[in-house]
Amino acid sequence: MAIEISPLPLPDSAEASSFLSFGRQVKGFDPTNFTREEFATIENALYKHGLLLFRDVDLSPERQYALNRAFDPLCDDFGHGNNEIDKNKKSILHPDLKTIPRVPQVQLIGNGTVYDHEGITQATLKHPSHTTFHKTRVSPEDEAKGATRFFRWHIDAALYDRRTPKVTTLYAINVPKGPKQTCRYDDGTGDELPVPLGTTAFVSGKTMFEILPPELKSLAVRSKVKYAPLPYVWMAPAHAVSTGLGLESEGLEIPYDKLPSWEEAKRMVLPVLWKNPVTGELHFQVHPCGVAELLVDPISEGGKKEGAIYPDGAHLTDLKDVRELLYNMQRPGIAPKLVYPHDWNEKDLVLFYNRGVLHSVVGAFSTHQIRTFHQCNLAASDDPVGPTADDVKKWS
Q: Please count the structural domains in the chain.
A: 2
Specify if 389 maps to a domain. no
89-130 per-position pLDDT tens digit: 666 655 668 999 999 999 999 999 999 999 999 999 999 999
Residues 95 and 217 in one domain: no
Residues 155 and 36 in one domain: yes
Residues 195 and 123 in one domain: yes
CA distance 90 to 231: 11
Instruction: With residue 342 as reference, give the H or E element that holds it.
Output: strand 340-342
Specify if 392 maps to a domain. no
With H, G, I as helix, E, B as strand and everything else as coil, classify residue 84. Answer: coil
The amino acid sitting at 62 is E
The amino acid sitting at 146 is G
Residue 243 burial (CB < 10 Å; 0-12/13-18/19+)? buried
CA distance 156 to 150: 16
Confidence (pLDDT) at 306: 87
With H, G, I as helix, E, B as strand and everything else as coil, classify residue 116. Answer: strand
Specify if 282 maps to a domain. yes
Specify if 391 maps to a domain. no
Confidence (pLDDT) at 217: 98
CB atoms near residue 321 (< 10 Å): 13
Among 22, 11, 76, 19, residue whose Cα is nearest residue 45: 22
Contacts of 36 (CB under 8 A, 6+ apart): none
CA distance 122 to 370: 13
pLDDT band at 302 (very low <50, low <70, confident <90, very high): confident
Domain limits for position 279: 207-332
CA distance 392 to 313: 13
Confidence (pLDDT) at 350: 99
CA distance 128 to 106: 18
With H, G, I as helix, E, B as strand and everything else as coil, classify residue 257. Answer: helix
Confidence (pLDDT) at 355: 98
Residues 251 and 153 in one domain: no
pTM equals: 0.95
Residues 103 and 34 in one domain: yes
Residues 321 and 344 in one domain: no
Residues 53 and 78 in one domain: yes
C-beta of residue 355 within 8 angstroms of C-beta of residue 274: yes
In this structure, the strands spanning 181-184 and 147-148 are parallel
Specify if 386 maps to a domain. no
58-96 per-position pLDDT tens digit: 999 999 999 999 999 999 877 666 556 555 566 665 566
C-beta of residue 343 within 8 angstroms of C-beta of residue 196: yes
CA distance to 149, 340, 341, per residue, from 12 (Å): 19, 10, 11
Residues 17 and 162 in one domain: yes
Q: pLDDT > 90: what percent of the chain?
A: 91
Residues 175 and 274 in one domain: no
Does 133 have pLDDT greater than 90? yes
C-beta of residue 220 within 8 angstroms of C-beta of residue 205: no
Sign of CA dihedral 231, 235, 240, 246: negative
Specify if 384 maps to a domain. no
CA distance 346 to 300: 52
C-beta of residue 201 within 8 angstroms of C-beta of residue 181: no
262-296 per-position pLDDT tens digit: 999 999 999 999 999 999 999 999 999 999 999 99
CA distance 121 to 228: 36
CA distance 356 to 349: 18
pLDDT band at 319 (very low <50, low <70, confident <90, very high): very high
Confidence (pLDDT) at 82: 52
Residues 225 and 173 in one domain: no
Residues 290 and 373 in one domain: no
In this structure, the strands spanning 4-7 and 24-27 are antiparallel
Q: What is the CATH number of the domain that holds 357?
A: 3.60.130
Q: What is the residue-averaged pLDDT of the chain?
A: 95
Residues 322 and 361 in one domain: no
CA distance 61 to 130: 29
With H, G, I as helix, E, B as strand and everything else as coil, classify residue 2. Answer: coil
